[in-house]
Amino acid sequence: MTECLFCKIAQGALPAHVLHQDDHVMAFLDLHPIREGHALVIPRAHHVWFEDMPADLAARVTHCAQGIARAMKALYPVDRVSMFFTGIHVPHAHAHVVPMHHVHDVTSTAYLADGAEGFSVPPRLEDGRMAQVAADLARAMRP
């Protein structure tokens, strides 16, 4: 992918503050961090969506993110590090690894009903609906 920003970084055509690189994955600092240390882990091969990555490659991304998380806990005064895939801004699968200094460092508006300093529990789905959602997803996961 000649126009993909992350492919260009993986090929060395664009600079990055690299934390790790091997034949399969690369990790570097996010240019627009949620918190200092916010890192991205990408597969070197171009995959638009994380669910399209081969399972062994997704495991390599996760393994790299785990190492970064342990380093973050050693460097920053945090008990928790978040890892999530979004793919919103760059169409190349990537995991965000963020040291969480505050409960809302990586959150959804569903948790903000009590304001920025609170942490609301979203409404619980009714048990029958939960059972139906679980059954639908399990059925959709079958080959």
For residue 126, the 8-state DSSP code is P
Query: How do 39-43 and 25-29 pair as beta strands?
Result: antiparallel
Distance separating the N- and C-terminal Cα atoms of the chain: 30
Q: Which of 94, 96, 101, 102 is catalytic?
A: 94
What ranges make up the beta strands (E) of the chain? 18-21, 25-29, 39-43, 80-85, 95-100
Alpha carbons 28 and 14: distance in angstroms, whole number: 12
Has 94 been annotated as catalytic?
Answer: yes
Q: Which active-site residues does the annotation give?
A: 94
